[in-house]
Amino acid sequence: MSEKLEQFESKMKKTCDHLSADFVTIRAGRANPHVLDRIRVDYYGTPTPIQQVGNVTVPEPRILQIAPWEKSLIKAVEKAIMTSDLGITPSNDGSVIRLVFPEVTEERRKSLVKDIKKKGEEAKVAVRNIRRDGNDFLKKLGKTDVSEDEIKELEEQLQKLTDKYVKEVDKLVDEKSKEILTV
């Protein structure tokens, strides 16, 4: 791999990593602590991830339990969950907060799969845009001291990279879709 293409491969990899991280936060009817990743709690005036203010466990397949290290944080954690886009109402018993994930309906599963495919398509477009930027870069390089044959070879390598990461996106979409559709 040419060092001229490393920056483009790095961007394509970041696109796949971002998509993967995005998929982790999509809930599929099972309790997954990662759905809390984006939620921040006001901890003495500082927005702090829930995982840093308490212990998050999965006592049952559809229940998440959050045990804040300081009892005074229970209201703040509850408020953060309520104002998030999670769509689940927390319940607390004074020392722990429980999130009960409802069973996902067939209609909702299909809707989630559509969203997943849409995000996958957006990721593919991003990868192709990176390829376009790479081709523009190579054309500018061709006007300098690099031979046409070298440019042709680099363009072929860039296309192979694009194909590789488009396949990776397809794989991520397929895996998440299967997970969502599995009852």
The CATH number of the domain holding residue 45 is 3.30.1360.40
In terms of domains, do 116 and 95 share one?
no
Number of domains making up the chain? 2
In terms of domains, do 170 and 113 share one?
yes
In terms of domains, do 173 and 110 share one?
yes
pLDDT tens digit at each of 183 positions of the chain: 477 788 989 999 999 999 888 887 776 667 778 878 888 888 888 888 888 888 888 888 888 898 888 888 888 888 888 888 777 888 888 888 898 887 778 888 888 889 899 999 999 999 999 999 999 988 888 777 778 888 888 889 999 999 999 999 999 999 888 888 875
pTM above 0.75, yes or no: no
pLDDT at position 29, please?
Answer: 66
Q: Which of 56, 85, 100 is the last residue of a domain?
A: 100
Domain span at 80: 33-100
Q: What are phi and psi of 89, to 5 degrees?
A: -90, 125
Report which secondary-structure segment, H or E, holds 97. strand 97-100
Does residue 45 come out as left (phi exceeding 0), alpha (psi in the -120 to 50 range) or beta? left
pLDDT at position 27, please?
Answer: 66
In terms of domains, do 95 and 72 share one?
yes
Cα torsion angle, 175, 161, 139, 14, sign: positive
Structure-block tokens of residue 77: 């954690």
Output DSSP code: residue 87.
Answer: -
Structure-block tokens of residue 154: 């680099």
User: What number of other Cβ atoms are within 10 A of residue 1's Cβ?
Assistant: 10
Q: Which of 81, 100, 119 is the last residue of a domain?
A: 100
pLDDT at position 48, please?
Answer: 87
pLDDT at position 171, please?
Answer: 93
CA distances from 170 to 16, 52, 106 (A): 10, 33, 23
pLDDT at position 15, please?
Answer: 92
In terms of domains, do 52 and 82 share one?
yes
CA distances from 83 to 41, 51, 77, 119 (A): 10, 17, 10, 24
> How many Å apart are CA 76 and CA 1, to the nearest integer?
50
CATH number reported for the structural domain that contains residue 169 in this entry: 1.10.132.20
Q: Which of 84, 100, 116 is the last residue of a domain?
A: 100
